[in-house]
Amino acid sequence: MPFATQTLVIFYNKKIFRQHGVSVPKTWDAFLTLMKTLKDKGVTPLANGAKEGWTLEILSGVIAPNFYGGTNFYEAVTRGHTTFRDPTYTNALARMLDLRPYMPQGFMGVDYATMQQLFLNEQAAMFIGGSWEIGFFKQQNKNLDFDVFAAPPERADQIPWVSSFNDGNYGINAKTPYMDAAMKFIRFTATKEWGQMFTDMLAQMSPVPGVVIKDPVLLQVQAMNRKSTPYIMLVGFRWQAPTGSTLLQSALQAMMAGQMTPAQVGDEVTRGLSAWVDSFRR
């Protein structure tokens, strides 16, 4: 039984936006302009760092889908019609490089805790991350006035893609001596009562149908999910080792440090995955 779905979004500090007269961008270029404006006014635009590889994978999950064509690419790559060497994908990754000037000073050493601290202490205007942060941010700083928006697409007429994934599942060990109790519990996690409690208490999206979301930020996230796309490595490429995630995380660190080009990242990931993804070996 799945217990939550997560969506990858951009959090922003509404007060800082108001103070500096900027608003949610509708296109990628507007996004870059927005960050430059903030930086010129002495505000750190992004809280994100690169010390923990998985936060870079998340960053790619937010920024890249609009540029690689979301689910169309996902299906192509999982069906073996293309690999991660595809310029469609690597050019999308390249967009992450545009963010570097707007990340904190010394961002290569900024870890997840520091990222959250920066956003929570209002020392950075935006935080690119997952919807699971909503409850955490609210709990850590009740005065933080924040909201979310989807990573903006190239053109204003496009609807942005958001990466999403099933965050985890409850499972029963087939050999448990407590099968009845376990089944009873698992059945309960499929009920609306459970889903509603889950969403209300943790501000996370429950997969149970019919659950009503009350949190305004989470409502935004739910709306964005109308155009959701699988969070590519987590959903499609973690079946065996080396996983797509492991390969991508290290490679992205190299890319953000200027040691690798996006094309090399794509090559590295494809090469590693070809150990168990047959279609990548051609």
Interface residues toward other proteins, by CB under 8 A: 49-54, 57, 104-114, 116-118, 120, 140, 234, 238, 240-243, 245-247, 249-251, 253-254, 257, 259-260, 268, 271-272, 274-275
| Three-state SS at 9 | strand
Residue in the block written with tokens 């699988």: 230
Which one, 96 or 208, has the nearer CB to other proteins? 96
Which one, 33 or 240, has the nearer CB to other proteins? 240
Which one, 196 or 264, has the nearer CB to other proteins? 264
CB of 90 to other proteins, least distance (A): 17
- Residue 195 exposure: Cα atoms within 13 Å on the Cβ side: 17
Distance between CA atoms of 64 and 266, rounded to whole angstroms?
A: 13
CB of 154 to other proteins, least distance (A): 29
CB of 48 to other proteins, least distance (A): 12
In one-letter notation, the amino acid at residue 271 is R
Which one, 5 or 250, has the nearer CB to other proteins? 250
Gyration radius (Cα) of the chain, Å? 20
Which one, 83 or 253, has the nearer CB to other proteins? 253
CB of 25 to other proteins, least distance (A): 25
| Three-state SS at 155 | coil
Distance between CA atoms of 129 and 52, rounded to whole angstroms?
A: 13
CB of 258 to other proteins, least distance (A): 9
Distance between CA atoms of 108 and 142, rounded to whole angstroms?
A: 29
CB of 139 to other proteins, least distance (A): 11
Distance between CA atoms of 90 and 17, rounded to whole angstroms?
A: 31
Which one, 105 or 226, has the nearer CB to other proteins? 105
Which one, 80 or 258, has the nearer CB to other proteins? 258
Bridge-partner residues for 169, per DSSP? 2
- Burial code of 217-251, b = ≥16 C-beta within 10 A, e = fewer? bbebbbebbebbbbbbbbbbbeeeebbbbbbbbbb
Are 65 and 96 in contact by the 8 Å Cβ rule? The answer is no
Are 6 and 165 in contact by the 8 Å Cβ rule? The answer is yes
CB of 199 to other proteins, least distance (A): 24
